């Protein structure tokens, strides 16, 4: 038999297999028919033999092959074993009933048997698919997270499921990785699926594409060429999406850890430098004091000595802040908690900063002079000095600075207000990060970006908080809130 060339290779093979299996069953029926006719069997035993052949054909080959064999078997029974023999006429109605019962029985049994065989094969396929999915899930847990996941995933899927080709587009890296053979036309099929957000099934090329989603987030796309059921393809897409998302999370954690390591290294270097600066600063301060004690300094010389002392004192305070910041970050500081009257602490700090606040009058308002907190006086003084220093540096010329203290529920509130350029909303949290300085602050005054971070850590060490509100018309106010462990001094 010549098969038309218009059929595809796979369809031609299926048709040839169908014809071969049907002809095999027909040959068995013909052989049994010849044997029964020669031995003068009656219709009953021949009919049972034919039914056995039909059932066997259904079990081994399928329903449609068994249907063809049953039709041939019915024709043979009618022609050779029901009178009048040698023709397809049936005179006795009982013979019609027998033939009809045979054909119906053959078809029903064939259908049931074929369906059972199909269910068994489906179960076996599903079991095999589940075993492969389990193997893939275990293998994805062992992939190297330090390398790109795409090439590793494509090779695993192709190897475990024995498909022709696999391609995965990773949205995080923007790359499409593939294994197996892809033509020039199909090499971007996974990338196209990602941008169109459309799952497809191409029955001609047996290519399935799926968008990779983790929750509502799209992390990529996958394309698989081969005989894989849609359910298995969906499961593969889910596993691939989870793996890509896990790799992205690992990369982010690695970057965060690297940033922490860099910050710790930078803090250690600054701590070391601050310690190293202390010794020459002490020598400079001692030498400048000695020059003043020697006497006989003219006015320009005295001014130079004053400048050296002032700047060395400022450098010494900066080194102290660096050391204190390093201790706070390393959680090595031991708070010397004492009962502190906030009014007295504030008065002392303002007096110490009088020289630096020149040109900026300071108004102090304390709601209750006996308002008391429990904390480390040195750390809190450093925080208030930093607030005042900032107010002086970033105020308009001659602008007043107002410092207020009051009680709010279980907290003591301290605020420092000044009039100057407003702080953008985007910078109001970031200015408390170490080394961060806004663009406006860089233009107005020199600085290191350390001071406010020190204030924040000092507040957190006392279980308090710092924040800022700023407006171009109303000015800028920095707040420090501290828990009031003791209500009032007695």
> pLDDT tens, 332-349?
556 677 888 888 888 888
- Which residues are registered as beta bridge partners of 175? 170
Phi and psi, residue 305, nearest 5°: -65, -40
Count the domains in the chain. 4
- Residues 85 and 112 placed together within one structural domain of the fold: yes
User: Does 198 or 104 have the greater pLDDT score?
Assistant: 198
Point out the least confidently predicted range of 265-269, 302-306, 414-418: 265-269
> Using an 8 Å Cβ cutoff, are 415 and 406 in contact?
no
Distance CA 240, CA 123 (A): 25
The DSSP letter of residue 162 is T
Q: Which of 291, 310, 329 is the last residue of a domain?
A: 329
Q: What is the pTM of this model?
A: 0.47
Give me the torsion for CA of 262, 264, 270, 272, rounded to 10°: -120
**Total count of residues recorded for the chain:** 490
> pLDDT tens, 197-209?
889 998 888 899 9
pLDDT score for 489: 37
- Residues 358 and 452 placed together within one structural domain of the fold: yes
**Two structure tokens written together for 472:** 């171009």
Distance CA 352, CA 330 (A): 29
- Residues 353 and 434 placed together within one structural domain of the fold: yes
Among 309, 393, 306, CA closest to 356: 393
Q: Which of 310, 329, 348 is the last residue of a domain?
A: 329
Distance CA 63, CA 61 (A): 7
- Residues 384 and 470 placed together within one structural domain of the fold: yes
pLDDT at 214 over 60: yes
Residue 166: inside a domain: yes
Residue 399 domain boundaries = 337-483
- Residues 439 and 323 placed together within one structural domain of the fold: no
Determine whether 398 is exposed, middle or buried from the number of CB atoms within 10 Å of its CB (0-12, 13-18, 19+).
Answer: exposed
Mean pLDDT throughout 134-150? 87
Q: Which CATH number characterizes residue 370's domain?
A: 3.30.565.10
Pairing of strands 217-225, 200-202: unpaired
pLDDT score for 402: 92
Distance CA 178, CA 188 (A): 10
Phi and psi, residue 376, nearest 5°: -90, 110
Residue with tokens 């390393």: 330
Q: Which of 89, 124, 159 is the last residue of a domain?
A: 124
> Using an 8 Å Cβ cutoff, are 206 and 226 in contact?
yes
- Residues 231 and 275 placed together within one structural domain of the fold: no
Residue 261: inside a domain: no
**Two structure tokens written together for 452:** 């406010």
């Amino acid at each position: 038999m010549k098969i038309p060339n218009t059929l595809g290779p796979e369809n031609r093979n299926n048709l040839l297999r169908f014809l071969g299996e049907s002809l095999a069953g027909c040959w068995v029926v013909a052989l049994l028919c010849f044997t029964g006719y020669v031995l003068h069997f009656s219709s009953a035993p021949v009919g049972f033999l034919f039914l056995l052949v039909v059932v066997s054909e259904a079990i081994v080959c399928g329903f449609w092959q068994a249907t063809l064999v049953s039709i041939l078997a019915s024709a043979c029974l009618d022609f050779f074993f029901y009178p009048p023999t040698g023709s397809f006429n049936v005179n006795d109605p009982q013979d019609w009933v027998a033939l009809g019962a045979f054909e119906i029985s053959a078809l029903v049994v064939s259908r049931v048997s074929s369906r059972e065989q199909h269910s068994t094969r489906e179960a076996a396929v599903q079991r095999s698919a589940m075993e492969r999915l389990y193997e893939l899930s275990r293998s994805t847990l062992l992939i190297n997270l330090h390398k790109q996941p795409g090439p590793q995933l494509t090779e695993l899927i192709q190897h475990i499921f024995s498909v022709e080709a696999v391609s995965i587009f990773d949205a995080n890296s923007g790359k499409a990785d593939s294994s197996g053979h892809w033509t020039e036309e199909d090499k971007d099929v996974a990338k196209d699926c990602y941008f169109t957000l459309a799952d497809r099934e191409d029955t001609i090329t047996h290519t399935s594409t799926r968008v990779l989603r983790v929750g509502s987030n799209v992390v990529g796309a996958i394309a698989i060429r081969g005989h894989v059921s849609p359910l298995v393809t969906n499961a593969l897409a889910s596993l691939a999406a989870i793996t890509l998302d896990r790799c992205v999370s690992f990369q982010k954690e690695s970057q965060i850890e690297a940033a922490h390591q860099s910050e710790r290294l930078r803090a250690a270097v600054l701590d070391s430098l601050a310690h190293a600066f202390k010794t020459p600063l002490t020598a400079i301060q001692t030498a400048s004091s000695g020059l003043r004690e020697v006497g006989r300094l003219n006015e320009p010389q005295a001014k130079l000595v004053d400048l050296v002392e002032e700047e060395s004192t400022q450098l010494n305070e900066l080194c102290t802040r660096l050391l204190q910041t390093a201790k706070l970050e390393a959680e090595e500081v031991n708070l010397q908690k004492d009962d502190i009257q906030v009014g007295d602490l504030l008065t002392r700090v303002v007096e110490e900063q009088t020289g630096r606040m020149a040109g900026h009058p300071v108004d102090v308002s304390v709601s209750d002079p006996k308002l008391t907190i429990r904390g480390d006086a040195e750390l809190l003084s450093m925080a208030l000095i930093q607030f005042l220093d900032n107010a002086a540096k970033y105020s308009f010329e001659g602008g007043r600075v107002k410092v207020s203290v009051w009680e709010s529920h279980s907290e003591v509130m301290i605020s420092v207000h000044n009039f100057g350029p407003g702080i953008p909303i985007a910078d109001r949290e970031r200015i408390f990060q170490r080394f961060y300085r806004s663009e406006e602050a860089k233009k107005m005054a020199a600085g290191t970006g350390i001071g406010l971070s020190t204030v924040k850590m000092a507040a957190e060490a006392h279980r308090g908080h710092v924040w800022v509100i700023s407006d171009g018309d109303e000015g800028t106010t920095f707040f420090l809130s501290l828990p009031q462990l003791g209500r009032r001094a007695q």
